[in-house]
Structure 1
């Protein structure tokens, strides 16, 4: 299957919620081209984990019973760094144009950079859920 078709399948699975399809396609292509499927698996897992932490932080700020908010924030920060390192590793064999694009789009410490990274996180979370569904289908 080519990556454009895979991205479209993930988009259909997500009910058209992907926001960074072209960039997701680049990550998938780099994964398949360079035999880095384990890294892609880890990247999508990290993204899904971060999205879960975001949900806990949103609910936790309104819930006084959650006492370990600072620990959750630290875990969130550490995993954002981990995710960025995973993306950098995945695109390390791409040309300088792709690396520069990702650096500018996702790794800059700006509001726009964080928003873009957040949208890519959502797409990677959908990717993880899609892959999980595919695994369940093949094991059943």
Structure 2
């Protein structure tokens, strides 16, 4: 499948909520060209999981009903780091210029980079939901 076509389909599926289409397209292109589908599957799963934990933490800070917030925070941190490592592993297949772009945009220790990373993870979460929908509508026998 073509990366650009896939991005269009995911964007349509998300009701045009993708915020980092260009960089998501780069990741998809790397996967297609280098046969890294398993890593991408792990990354999209992990992105969805991290964002789920993030939602629990936001709800937990507003409500005393959610127990064990420290464990959830630790799990969130560990899986956020794992997502970053997975993206960096994919970036090893790109040019130095592209690696620098991802490092500056997503991995610097700044509020803006964390916000950018969160947007990319949201796009990866949409990708996971899109791929899950494809599996449900086109099951492999």
Question: TM range, normalised to the smaller chain?
Answer: over 0.9
Unaligned 5+ runs, structure 2? none
CA shift for structure 1 position 93: 1.4
Unaligned 5+ runs, structure 1? none
Indicate the residue corresponding to 1:52 in structure 2. 52
CA shift for structure 1 position 65: 2.1
Return the TM-score normalized by structure 1.
0.97
Indicate the residue corresponding to 1:20 in structure 2. 20
Q: Secondary structure at the match of 1:103?
A: helix
Counting only pairs closer than 5 Å after superposition, residues 28-67 of structure 1 correspond to structure 2 as: 28-67=28-67
Whole-angstrom CA distance in 1 between matches of 2:104 and 2:44:
21
Return the TM-score normalized by structure 2.
0.97
Tell me whether 1:111 sits opposite 2:111 in the alignment.
Answer: yes
Whole-angstrom CA distance in 2 between matches of 1:6 and 1:64:
41
Whole-angstrom CA distance in 1 between matches of 2:132 and 2:4:
19
Alpha carbon RMSD of aligned pairs, Å? 0.9
Aligned length: 140
Indicate the residue corresponding to 2:127 in structure 1. 127
CA shift for structure 1 position 26: 0.2
Whole-angstrom CA distance in 2 between matches of 1:10 and 1:85:
24
Moved over 2 A (4+): none
CA shift for structure 1 position 7: 0.2
Q: Secondary structure at the match of 1:139?
A: coil
Whole-angstrom CA distance in 2 between matches of 1:89 and 1:32:
14
Whole-angstrom CA distance in 2 between matches of 1:65 and 1:137:
37
